[in-house]
Amino acid sequence: MSNGQAIRMTESRKAILSVLGRTRAHPTADEVYSMVREDLPKVSLGTVYRNLDLLAKQGLIRTLASAGEQRRYDGMVDDHHHIRCEVCGRMDDIEVGNAELLDELIIDGRGYDVHGYTLCFSGVCREYAGNGKSHEQNGKGQGE
């Protein structure tokens, strides 16, 4: 998905890549911001947003934008899927067995030129299990 020509690799971009490279947590922009500031105390939030966008367009990171939630970013660009906790909003990687089945999906695209799809699971993470409240606490449920 690398787009356009290569961009200059500035300090802030290196720092962002490094942050995303060493966490498994799918941080939000402001989490990336505060982590980057440990190394480069003067970066601005705007720069972090701008560069997260750029890096994503280059295909060097991935953007996880789910359902009315704050955007999250992922340093792992290989194809994989995610699950979001409906209670606390955290996102984790998941393993999908039979993943190859997904490519068998044949759709009537209604005249669309179909580019891809998004598959995201939802549930409740271990930490909040047993909290099975029916009323919402945080996330907006299933989104789609």
Partner DNA sequence: GCACTAATCGGAACCATTCCCAGTTTGTGC
Partner DNA sequence: GCACAAACTGGGAATGGTTCCGATTAGTGC
Binding site for a copy of itself (CB under 8 A): 3-4, 56-57, 63-68, 71, 81-83, 85-86, 92-99, 101-102, 104-126, 129, 132, 134-136, 140-144
Round the CA-based radius of gyration of the chain to a whole number and report it: 17
Q: Which is nearer to a copy of itself, 40 or 94 (CB)?
A: 94
Rounded Cα distance between 50 and 107, Å, is 35
- Kindly state whether residue 74 participates in binding Mn ion, applying the rule CB under 5 A: yes
**Cα 88-84-58 angle, rounded to 5 deg:** 120
- Looking at 25-33, 92-100, 112-120, 126-134, which segment touches DNA (CB under 7 A)? 25-33
Under 8 Å CB-to-CB from 24, ≥6 apart: which residues? 92, 93
Q: Which is nearer to DNA, 38 or 108 (CB)?
A: 38
3-state SS assignment for residue 14: helix
Residues within the interface to DNA (CB under 7 A)? 7-8, 10-13, 28-30, 40, 42-47, 49-51, 53, 65, 68, 70-71, 140
